[in-house]
Structure 1
Amino acid sequence: MSEQTTPGGDVAVDPTPSTGVTPGLDPKPSPVRRLLSGAAGRNLGLVLALVLIVIVGAITAPDTFTTWSNTLTILRQASIIGVISVGMTFVIIAGGIDLSVGSVMGLASVVATLDATQSIAESSHWIVMVVFALAVGLAAGLVNGIVIAYGNVVAFMATLAMLVAARGLAEILAERRTLTIDSRDFINFFNADFLGVDILIWIFAIVAVIGWVLLNRTTFGRRTVAIGGNREASRLAGINVKRHTVYLYALAGLSAGIAAVMILGRTTAGTSTHGQLYELDAIAAVVVGGTLLVGGRGTITGTVLGVLIFATLSNVFVQNNLSSSVQAVAKGVIIIVAVLLQQRFARSSGRSSA
């Protein structure tokens, strides 16, 4: 209720209660609403989704799903695609895409298991195989980044070309054969465990932590988010956008190289078929984890949760003897729901800003 002065000098009382809010504008959102609409709220939703899947698995397959060995199986299956997804997160946050990581992973596994590479490793140390795999991934990522940044080729087309070329080169080098690893020390190391947890899971954890620090605690991460939010404004602010783009794709390629080493340790063989469709699984995990496909927002924590959601869901299907076709349909539905939620969030954020 408020008082108003009339032209005659009298005071009139307005019966409408005064709320202190300007008409036509929404009130300031509450702290709880701001929390739920931020990264913490999105990650909380992912945690709840993961818990729900775990509950379903525990109910439908109580004797096998809830065992510690099955938990390690889920984490082991999530580790390789998880490493690729961490690198993919940086690329997508910056507004890019990389369709070649699966093929680069296959190429790196082949190069690391060639007779020439294994001969060098035999005369020195098995770490040479790791170095070759990482070098192949890094080189492929650098080529992608240079073509995209300095050749002005659309990321989709540049990485699609690398997808085809890397897979073809892997087939040529391997002569369409499966190349086995001769080094027992290499196999023993990557099949060992530390504190009861597989080495592959530890590698995934280390890569995820490094990725989190790089994105949230360094200038590199801030520049990545800025480029994804507004590329031209980032350039005007003094960021070397082209050079940073090269770094991002090199990082994604390096992640594919690490994943190649991990799959070599898991399968003890290199082949051109390694990594098929891994790029799609990585993109799906990143998107479900809350990273915007248009760039400018994303978290490593969300990506890790997205990877775990898909890995746990697949395990639930396996425990219940459901076909891979049903798994594919379920993954498709999850991806569609995630994209729709992203669009709704983007619209609500735009209205809040206005």
Structure 2
Amino acid sequence: MLSPTGAEAGADADAVKEPARRPASPSRRGIGVPRAGLRHLSLAGVLVVLVAVGAFTRPEQFLTADNLQLILTQSSVIGVVTVGVTFVIIGGGIDLSVGAIVALASVWATTVATQEFGLGGVLLCALAVGLGCGLVNGVLIAYGPMVPFIATLAMLASARGLALLISDGKTQVVTVPSVLDLGVSDSYVLGVPPLVLVFAAVAVLGWLVLGRTTFGRRTVAVGGNAEASRLAGIAVRRQRLLLYLLSGLCCGIAAFMLIVLTGSGQNTNGNLYELDAIAAAIIGGTLLSGGRGTITGSVLGVLVFTTITNLFALNNLQTDVQQIAKGAIIVAAVLVQKGRKSP
């Protein structure tokens, strides 16, 4: 039998190597980035539509500087909580206790004993309570036998109960002038309330940490596939613990912001914050199964929800209608996610 010529051999070799030179499929080229950008543009478009509706239905009220400041201020507290919740969900967890942690931190930080230490005492106490609750959640979930749903549900009940016990069901009025001064118009920076600046700072830091640091990449990896992350050398348990500590820290910051905003601490503070934060993260593109999400999307989700609530209030619509609308938005967002994941 004649041996193949050099040209024929080269052709055979090229034929063998051809599969290796095939271009990667679109799903391997980072198609998630364009999708995230498209979702952000869509949410921005929704905001524009909502602003147009407000300008058409209540032009003398909606477009005023005071109302726009109100929308941003109301977005700030729940927005900070949403940043922490977004990290937890991307990491494959869930946190149902954020609202109760905010209530407990606000109550503990406004006791008479705490207020004797001034602004620093109130702030540090709120942060310490948030971190403490986050630590308990993290230990139970990362190193204990509990799944996130059960552990954070138990924290929700315990924190609410402890907040009620400390406050005795009463409103605790803040008497520290330096704390109250942060909520008055004289403290605004170029017309922007300090609480909005805090929210912006937390959101920017969250965006940088998630997208530009090893911690962020590990969070996405653990949420996408915990076992593969463990085999790759990532300390999965420690990562989960840190995520719940981060969520608790955000709750502590939000509690202090709420104290500044209301001038008081109450055991009813943060009511349904867990649902609002999770909903904002979902419509912002964060997968409930973990492994994907953006801080930008979550921030836009918060602004959409807050603007809707403001529009309903200006148009004298009932609270039950607001809740129904929020539920419909959540269902629509989840259905969109399911549709995009299907082949």
Per-residue CA shift, 1:82-140, capped at 9, x if unaligned? 00000000000011000001000000011101111112x1xxx4211100000000010
1:180: which partner in 2?
173
Measure, in 1, the Cα distance between the counterparts of 2:310 and 2:182.
Answer: 26
Secondary structure, counterpart of 1:197 in structure 2: coil
Q: Does the CA-based 8 Å contact 1:35-1:41 persist in structure 2?
A: no
2:300: which partner in 1?
305
Question: Any gaps of 5 or more consecutive residues in structure 1?
Answer: 1-26
Say yes or no: does 1:77 pair with 2:74.
Answer: yes
1:245: which partner in 2?
240
Per-residue CA shift, 1:199-249, capped at 9, x if unaligned? 111111010001000100100000000001101000000000001100000
Q: Does the CA-based 8 Å contact 1:289-1:304 persist in structure 2?
A: yes
Measure, in 2, the Cα distance between the counterparts of 1:225 and 1:299.
Answer: 10
2:9: which partner in 1?
none
2:16: which partner in 1?
none
> What are the within-5 Å matches in structure 2 for residues 205-244 of structure 1?
205-244=200-239
Return the letter of the residue paired with 1:157.
Answer: I
Report how far residue 63 of structure 1 moved: 1.4
> What are the within-5 Å matches in structure 2 for residues 129-278 of structure 1?
129-191=122-184, 192-278=187-273
**Alignment equivalent of 1:289, drawn from 279, 284, 298:** 284
Return the letter of the residue paired with 1:182.
Answer: T
Q: Does the CA-based 8 Å contact 1:111-1:132 persist in structure 2?
A: yes
Secondary structure, counterpart of 1:64 in structure 2: helix
**Alignment equivalent of 1:108, drawn from 105, 108, 116:** 105
Q: Does the CA-based 8 Å contact 1:190-1:262 persist in structure 2?
A: no
Per-residue CA shift, 1:181-206, capped at 9, x if unaligned? 11111110243211111011111101
Report how far residue 76 of structure 1 moved: 0.7
Measure, in 1, the Cα distance between the counterparts of 2:32 and 2:221.
Answer: 22
Measure, in 2, the Cα distance between the counterparts of 1:217 and 1:282.
Answer: 23
TM-score, normalised by the number of residues in structure 1:
0.87
Q: Does the CA-based 8 Å contact 1:36-1:42 persist in structure 2?
A: no
TM-score, normalised by the number of residues in structure 2:
0.89
Return the letter of the residue paired with 2:54.
Answer: G
Return the letter of the residue paired with 2:169.
Answer: R
Report how far residue 28 of structure 1 moved: 6.7
1:91: which partner in 2?
88
2:6: which partner in 1?
none
1:8: which partner in 2?
none
Secondary structure, counterpart of 1:327 in structure 2: helix
Q: CA RMSD in A?
A: 1.8
| Aligned-residue identity in percent | 54
After superposition, the Cα gap between the structure-2 partners of 1:238 and 1:36, relative to the gap in structure 1 and judged at 3 Å, is closer
1:4: which partner in 2?
none
Per-residue CA shift, 1:241-299, capped at 9, x if unaligned? 00110000010011010000000001111111111111111000000111000001000
Measure, in 2, the Cα distance between the counterparts of 1:193 and 1:187.
Answer: 13
1:340: which partner in 2?
335
Per-residue CA shift, 1:281-334, capped at 9, x if unaligned? 100000011100000100000000000000011111111111111111111111
Number of equivalenced pairs: 317
Report how far residue 35 of structure 1 moved: 8.1
Measure, in 2, the Cα distance between the counterparts of 1:265 and 1:302.
Answer: 27
Return the letter of the residue paired with 2:89.
Answer: I
Per-residue CA shift, 1:134-159, capped at 9, x if unaligned? 00000100100000010031100000
Of 131-140 and 176-185, the range deviating more from structure 2: 176-185
Q: Does the CA-based 8 Å contact 1:99-1:160 persist in structure 2?
A: yes
Measure, in 1, the Cα distance between the counterparts of 2:82 and 2:170.
Answer: 28
Of 33-42 and 177-186, the range deviating more from structure 2: 33-42
After superposition, the Cα gap between the structure-2 partners of 1:95 and 1:34, relative to the gap in structure 1 and judged at 3 Å, is closer
1:3: which partner in 2?
none
2:54: which partner in 1?
57
Secondary structure, counterpart of 1:144 in structure 2: helix
Report how far residue 34 of structure 1 moved: 5.0
Secondary structure, counterpart of 2:219 in structure 1: helix
Measure, in 2, the Cα distance between the counterparts of 1:36 and 1:64.
Answer: 38
Measure, in 2, the Cα distance between the counterparts of 1:170 and 1:69.
Answer: 32
Say yes or no: does 1:316 pair with 2:323.
Answer: no
User: Which of the pair is proportionally richer in helix?
Assistant: 2
